[in-house]
């Protein structure tokens, strides 16, 4: 019994280490590649990678549990892998982990019938986890229900692997093992909950420092950082960098006539429209003033940028903004400046050129796009 307990504790320590590295890897990825978490495709890759990660962890536990090594070490850990993935991730990664665990069990084990029976039971447990995870219950309640669903598998496994008899005299031993199993699972789930919650809170705190709370776009501070970085990169690579500055026409009139709540709704609606447009990779969209927005577009031509700005202008004309007056139409003016690797010596000069282009668009009647002609500016 002491050998089994020792192996369970050591496997729990390994599981906690795996959770820690998982949490640190996700945190680092969010810091270095935040755009990946905004992409559905990239999110799927990350999730399925987690399934592979925990699937191979399960295979390691199977190897450790082969006869002659650490008998009894791994079954609880394999079940905990499925519990963690279902509660804190989704069925997709859990399915990947399950398939790897089944493959490892069938190819690494010797007793074919016992392995097939185990596979059948763990698939049943997988569906128990999947259904319980969908319930509107607390994490603790879900874990209790799932662990109760694991009892048939544990009864069979402990009887076969550790040779605990189905007798009244063995009842204290059964109770002891079930208690240890529940205890270890709750430690692992608590650690996973803490890591998951901490990562989300850190991410939300980071986002609050770079996002405008009304529109969900980058704020001016983040825009300055990203614009300077994009300019330095374009200067080093002698690459194109385009800047669009957009201003909502007569926005002060909207605020004065309908109030700031309606004005805020107009800003929010416009921002959501921008977020739905398909921009080139590494585009940054920011709110840089009350009704003023900026779009940083690296690695595309001036004509492509002008086409995108025109596309935005035309879409705005068709949006039904929350303005009570019948026939009221919101329009925008846009100014564009293009950096070709040498025509502007500082990011401030490029920003000033785009701002001048916006001024020209507004002076010429608004609801239009104006592009600043290429010139060398100090």
Residue 211 has what DSSP assignment? B
- SS3 percent helix, strand, coil of the chain, rounded to 5, is 70, 10, 25
The pLDDT of residue 54 is above 70: yes
Residue 13 banded pLDDT, cuts 50, 70, 90? confident
- Residue from 225, 371, 262 nearest 308 by CA: 371
- Spacing of C-alpha 17 from chain mean position: 22
Structure tokens at 5: 């307990």
The pLDDT of residue 4 is above 80: no
Q: Per mean pLDDT, which range of 153-162, 234-243, 262-271, 349-358 is the poorest?
A: 153-162
pLDDT digits (tens, 9 = 90+) for 263-293: 999 999 999 999 999 899 889 999 999 999 9
177 contacts: CB under 8 Å, gap ≥ 6: 4, 154, 158, 164
Classify the phi-psi angles of 72: left when phi > 0, otherwise alpha if psi is within -120 to 50, otherwise beta.
Answer: left
Q: What is the pLDDT of residue 68?
A: 54
Q: Rounded to the nearest 5 degrees, what angle is found at the Cα of 116, between the Cα atoms of 115 and 121?
A: 95
Q: What are the structural domains of the chain?
A: 2-210 (no CATH), 220-371 (3.30.70.270)
Q: Who has greater pLDDT, 350 or 109?
A: 350
Average pLDDT, the chain: 86
Q: What is the pLDDT of residue 179?
A: 85
Mean pLDDT value of segment 158-181: 80
| Pairwise CA distance, residues 280 & 300, whole Å | 8
The helix (run of H) or strand (run of E) holding residue 326 is none
| Pairwise CA distance, residues 153 & 158, whole Å | 9
User: In percent, how much of the chain has pLDDT > 90?
Assistant: 51
**Locus of tokens 């960098």:** 241
Buried b (16+ CB within 10 A) or exposed e, 82-94: bbbbbbbbbbebb
pTM over 0.75: no
The pLDDT of residue 338 is above 90: yes
**HSE (CB half, 13 Å, CA atoms) of 272?**
10
| Pairwise CA distance, residues 33 & 200, whole Å | 15
| Pairwise CA distance, residues 244 & 335, whole Å | 6
Mean pLDDT value of segment 65-74: 57
| Pairwise CA distance, residues 58 & 97, whole Å | 8
Written as one string, the DSSP assignment of 125-193 is HHHHHHHHHHSS--HHHHHHHHHHHTHHHHHHHIIIII---SSSTTHHHHHHHHHHHHHHHHHHHHHHH
Residue 35 has what DSSP assignment? G
User: In percent, how much of the chain has pLDDT > 70?
Assistant: 90
**Residue 67 in 3-state DSSP?**
coil
The pLDDT of residue 376 is above 50: no
| Pairwise CA distance, residues 332 & 319, whole Å | 12
| Pairwise CA distance, residues 13 & 205, whole Å | 30
CA 231 to each of CA 97, 220, 292: distance values in angstroms, whole numbers, following the listed order: 44, 16, 20
The pLDDT of residue 133 is above 90: yes
């Amino acid at each position: 019994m002491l050998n089994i307990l020792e192996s369970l504790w050591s496997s729990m320590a390994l599981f906690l280490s795996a959770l820690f590295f998982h949490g640190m890897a996700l945190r680092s990825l969010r810091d270095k590649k935040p755009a990946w978490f905004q992409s559905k495709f990239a999110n799927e890759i990350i999730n399925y990678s987690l399934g592979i990660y925990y699937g191979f962890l399960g295979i390691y536990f199977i190897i450790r549990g082969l006869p002659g090594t650490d008998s009894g070490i791994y079954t609880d850990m394999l079940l905990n892998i499925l519990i963690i993935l279902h509660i804190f991730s989704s069925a997709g990664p859990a399915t990947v982990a399950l398939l790897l665990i089944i493959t490892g069990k069938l190819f690494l084990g010797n007793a074919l019938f016992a392995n097939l029976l185990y596979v059948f039971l763990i698939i049943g447990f997988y569906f128990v986890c999947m259904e319980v995870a969908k319930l509107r219950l607390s994490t603790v309640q879900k874990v209790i229900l799932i662990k109760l669903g694991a009892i048939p598998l544990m009864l069979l496994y402990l009887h076969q692997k550790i040779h605990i008899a189905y007798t009244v005299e063995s009842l204290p031993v059964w109770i002891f093992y079930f208690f240890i199993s529940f205890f270890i699972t709750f430690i692992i789930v608590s650690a996973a909950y803490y890591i998951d919650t901490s990562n989300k809170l850190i991410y939300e705190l980071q986002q609050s420092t770079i996002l405008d709370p009304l529109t969900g776009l980058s704020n001016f501070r983040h825009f300055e950082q990203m614009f300077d970085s994009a300019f330095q990169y374009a200067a080093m690579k002698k690459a194109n960098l385009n800047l669009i500055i957009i201003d909502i026409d007569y926005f002060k009139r909207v605020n004065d006539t309908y109030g700031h709540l309606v004005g805020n709704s107009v800003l929010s609606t416009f921002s959501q429209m921008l977020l739905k447009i398909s921009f080139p990779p590494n585009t940054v969209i920011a709110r840089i003033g009350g009704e003023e927005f900026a779009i940083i577009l690296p690695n595309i031509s001036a004509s492509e940028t002008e086409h995108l700005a025109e596309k935005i202008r035309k879409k705005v004309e068709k949006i039904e903004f929350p303005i009570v007056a019948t026939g009221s139409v919101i329009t925008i003016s846009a100014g564009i400046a293009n950096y070709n690797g040498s025509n502007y010596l500082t990011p401030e000069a490029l920003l000033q050129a785009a701002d001048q282009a916006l001024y020209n668009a507004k002076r010429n009647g608004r609801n239009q796009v104006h592009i600043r002609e290429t010139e060398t500016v100090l």
